[in-house]
Amino acid sequence: MAQVTLTEFLKSIYQADEATRLSIAKDLKNAGFLRGTPSGKLERFLELQNAIIDAEKELAQLKPVSGDIDRLTYYATRRKEGSATGDSTPPITDYPVVSSPTDAKRSINAVFQESLGRDATSAEVKLLYTVLKKAQLENPTTYKETTINGKKTRIQYTALDTNQFILDQINKNPVTKQELAGRKEQAPELTARIAEKKIYDDLIKKAKGNKSKIDAAKTTTAYGRGIESTVAALAEYAISTGAEIADDELRSLATQVYDQAIENDPVQLRNLVRGNIGATGKGQAGDNYAVLQQVAAANGLDLDKTFGSNIDEWLQKIDKGESIDTYKRLIRNTAKIGMPQNVAALLDNGVDLDAVYSPYKNLMASTLEINPETISLNDPVLRSAVTGDKEVPLYEFQRQLRKDSRWQYTNQAREEVSDVALKVLRDFGFQG
């Protein structure tokens, strides 16, 4: 795992507590990088910073043969030989490369998946990390200086094979050893698949990023062909369910499936894909989402704003077999809050609010002479037709509409004004 930059590392040390800085200062002192008495006080941070920079120079010289080395581990285990900043040739150092808890867990789970077809339990990880760390401390990576073609260089001679060590521990533990033996008996194809994977991995490693060689490995090895076939099967499931899966995640899932030899189990394939079903998907999930949107709109609700992150979970449960009617009821139950009892009863029976308000909407459209499609279920005038304790009679609702400022501009209003004026004229004898 790549380390953070030196700047980020120095910033984290500066922000750490005094005890942490003191501990690092002591390690740097023992390693020969820090001059003077170790201190964790901020006013002496410059001394600590200079020591870290000196150590970084030595780590940079070791990187070509050892890769990234954990800084804190190196400070704590470096032998104090020679000057840290004197000779141009850095001192020969034997130091253990100790895995971080995260890296150790990743390695442990990789070996467990390959050998047992499962991740290690938290207890197994904890136990194995303890013995792995001890073994890494006892088996440091050894670098020796030699001369090749007249040039001094460093050669790595020994190091602990982490994966082989973890596999050895699996074989030493009676429980996991029995599990491994049973797995080999019950699923001999997994043993063959592990061997196929090694062939494939070796070819990919030798390809060194060459696309044509990588493509050849995918088509000429049994493992490569199996992965590609599994990718296609998962992609088909994703399309049919409406799941959105990025290409790299799809390939990662396919590798997980093929390594466990479950590529022919449709139930497990669908379960893996189901977690990626969401409201933005296509296929069946997209259709179900559209239905729920329609029901929400028919009840004056915005599906996304009202139910938010619940929607993806709903769609996954529907895909798993739960009826979509369950979620239609949830939407209507929300819409009926504050409605009169008789309206709430209608919603309980599958009637939407747009049906309840339909007569009022039509009357409102004709009275105010507006397009009924422009009247939202959340229009406050329309909503006033049904209050918390009753439904307003249609004749009363029409009377209310005539008080709306929009009514005075309708043809009906103008005709009524004309009729009134004509009657007045007649009453005074100006019209026959």
Average of per-residue pLDDT across 14-22 = 89
* pLDDT, tens only, 230-263: 888 888 777 766 667 777 888 888 888 888 777 7
Which of helix, strand or coil describes residue 141? strand
Q: Exposed, middle or buried: residue 266 (CB in 10 Å: 0-12, 13-18, 19+)?
A: exposed
- Greater model confidence, 93 or 159: 159
* pLDDT, tens only, 327-378: 888 888 888 888 888 888 888 888 888 888 888 888 888 787 778 777 878 8
DSSP state of 206: H
pLDDT number for residue 302: 83
Phi, psi at residue 98, to the nearest 5°? -95, 125
pLDDT number for residue 418: 52
Q: Is the pLDDT of residue 279 over 60?
A: no
Banded model confidence at residue 108, pLDDT cuts 50, 70, 90: very high
* pLDDT, tens only, 199-237: 888 888 888 888 888 888 888 888 888 888 888 888 877
CB 279 within 8 A of CB 211: no
Q: Exposed, middle or buried: residue 16 (CB in 10 Å: 0-12, 13-18, 19+)?
A: middle
pLDDT number for residue 121: 92
Q: Tokens for 251?
A: 């390939």
Average of per-residue pLDDT across 21-31 = 89
Quote the longest CA-to-CA distance of the chain. Answer: 131
* % of the chain exceeding 70 in pLDDT: 77
- The position carrying tokens 């977690």 is 275
Q: Which long-range contacts (CB under 8 A, 24 or more apart) does 162-168 make?
A: 162/99, 162/107, 162/132, 162/136, 163/107, 163/110, 163/111, 165/132, 165/135, 166/107, 166/108, 166/111, 166/128, 166/132, 167/111, 167/115
CB 174 within 8 A of CB 242: no
Task: Give bridge partners of residue 153 from the DSSP assignment.
Answer: 146
Average of per-residue pLDDT across 64-89 = 62
* pLDDT, tens only, 127-171: 999 998 888 887 776 655 555 455 555 555 556 778 888 988 998
CB atoms under 10 Å from CB of 56, counted, come to 15
Q: Tokens for 100?
A: 């971080």
* % of the chain exceeding 90 in pLDDT: 4
* pLDDT, tens only, 382-428: 888 887 677 888 888 888 877 877 767 777 766 665 554 555 555 55
- Greater model confidence, 4 or 29: 29
CB atoms under 10 Å from CB of 82, counted, come to 14
pLDDT number for residue 154: 54
Give the residue extent of every domain in the chain.
Answer: 6-88, 101-186, 213-273, 283-335, 357-426
Q: Tokens for 266?
A: 């449709």
